[in-house]
C-alpha cells in the first residue's frame, strides 16, 4: 500500500495585537521575539492560526508578558500538536526599560537607548542586544541561560550571575563595572573598557574583565578573576580561587 503523505503545516499568517502602552517585555514561552525601538508601538505575531490562538500577549502594568493560554511551555504545547510551524513575535516600542526571558525562548534587539536598562534571564533562554547606549545597565542570569551585548556605551554595568549561565559583552566603554557571581557561571567582558571593577565571586564561577584604574576582588570558593588593563588590584580570597593579571 502506498505510504500516507505527511500532513503539511498550515500557512503562516500575521496578526496585529492591539495592546496598552508598555516599556518592558517578559518572554515566558518558547518562541522567538524580535524587539525594535521606535514609534508607533506595535506587536505583530506570525504563525499558523491554531498556534496564534494559543499565544497570549497581555500587559501587566508597564510589562508586556508573552506566554501561552494554557500556561504551559510552548514546547510542551508543540509535543501535543504535531504539525506546528515557527511562531515569531515582532515588537516595536518607543521606550525600552527591561527585556526578560523566563523560558527557553530567545529575545533579540538590534539597538536600545535608555536611561536605565534591565536585561534578565531566569531560564535556559537568551537575551541578546547588539548595541546598548544607557546610563545604568543591569544584566542578571539565574539559570543556564545567557545575556549578550554586542557593543555597550554606559556609565555603570551591574552583572549578576547566580547559576551556570553567562553574561558577555563584546566591547564598548563603561567606566564602572560591578560583578557578582554565586555559582559556576561566567562573565566575559575583556574588550569592554572600564576604569574600575568590583568583583564578588562565591563558587566556581569566573569573570574576565578589563580595568585601567582599579580592581577590587573578593573570592570565596574556587572562582577566578582574570583582568587586563594593568589596574591597581585589591583582593581577598578564601578558598582556592585567585586573581590573574595579564
Are 132 and 243 in a shared domain? Answer: yes
Looking at residue 73, its pLDDT comes to: 57
Are 76 and 141 in a shared domain? Answer: no
The answer to whether residue 4 is domain-embedded is: no
pLDDT bin (cut points 50, 70, 90) of residue 107 is very high
Which of 60, 95, 130 corresponds to the end of one domain? Answer: 95
Looking at residue 235, its pLDDT comes to: 97
Interatomic CA distance for residues 30 and 227, integer angstroms: 36
Q: For the chain, what is the mean pLDDT?
A: 93
Query: Cα torsion at 118, 155, 196, 212 (round to 10°)?
Result: 120
Query: Could you tell me if 152 and 129 are in contact, meaning their C-beta atoms sit under 8 angstroms apart?
Result: no
Q: How many whole angstroms from its chain centre is CA 231?
A: 29
Q: Looking at residues 103-119, what average pLDDT do you find?
A: 97
Domain CATH number, residue 236: 2.160.20.120
Q: Is the pLDDT of residue 59 over 90?
A: yes
Which of 73, 95, 117 corresponds to the end of one domain? Answer: 95
pLDDT bin (cut points 50, 70, 90) of residue 195 is very high
Domain residues for 33? 12-95
Are 55 and 113 in a shared domain? Answer: no
Looking at residue 205, its pLDDT comes to: 97
**122-147 residue pLDDT tens:** 999 999 999 999 999 999 999 999 99
Are 89 and 19 in a shared domain? Answer: yes
DSSP-based three-state secondary structure for 78 = helix
What DSSP designation does 157 have? Answer: E
Looking at residue 82, its pLDDT comes to: 43
Are 216 and 184 in a shared domain? Answer: yes
Amino acid at each position: 500500500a502506498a505510504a500516507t503523505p505527511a500532513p503539511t503545516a498550515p500557512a503562516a499568517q500575521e496578526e496585529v495585537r492591539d495592546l496598552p502602552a508598555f516599556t518592558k517585555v517578559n518572554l515566558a514561552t518558547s518562541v522567538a521575539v524580535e524587539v525594535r525601538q521606535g514609534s508607533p508601538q506595535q506587536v505583530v505575531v506570525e504563525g499558523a492560526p491554531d498556534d496564534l490562538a494559543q499565544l497570549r500577549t497581555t500587559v501587566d502594568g508597564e510589562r508586556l508578558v508573552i506566554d501561552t493560554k494554557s500556561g504551559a511551555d510552548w514546547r510542551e504545547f508543540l509535543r501535543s500538536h504535531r504539525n506546528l510551524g515557527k511562531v515569531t513575535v515582532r515588537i516595536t516600542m518607543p521606550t525600552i526599560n527591561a527585556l526578560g526571558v523566563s523560558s527557553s525562548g530567545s529575545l533579540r534587539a538590534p539597538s536600545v537607548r535608555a536611561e536605565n536598562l534591565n536585561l534578565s534571564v531566569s531560564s535556559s533562554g537568551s537575551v541578546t542586544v547588539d548595541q546598548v547606549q544607557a546610563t545604568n545597565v543591569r544584566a542578571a542570569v539565574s539559570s543556564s541561560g545567557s545575556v549578550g551585548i554586542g557593543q555597550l556605551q554606559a556609565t555603570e554595568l551591574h552583572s549578576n550571575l547566580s547559576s551556570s549561565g553567562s553574561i558577555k559583552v563584546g566591547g564598548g566603554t563603561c567606566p564602572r563595572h560591578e560583578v557578582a557571581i554565586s555559582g559556576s557561571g561566567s562573565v566575559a567582558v575583556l574588550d569592554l573598557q572600564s576604569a574600575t571593577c568590583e568583583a564578588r565571586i562565591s563558587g566556581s564561577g569566573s569573570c574576565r574583565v578589563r580595568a585601567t584604574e582599579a580592581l577590587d576582588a573578593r573570592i570565596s570558593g574556587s572562582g577566578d578573576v582574570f583582568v587586563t588593563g594593568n589596574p591597581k588590584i585589591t583582593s581577598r580570597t578564601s578558598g582556592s580561587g585567585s586573581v590573574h593579571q595579564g
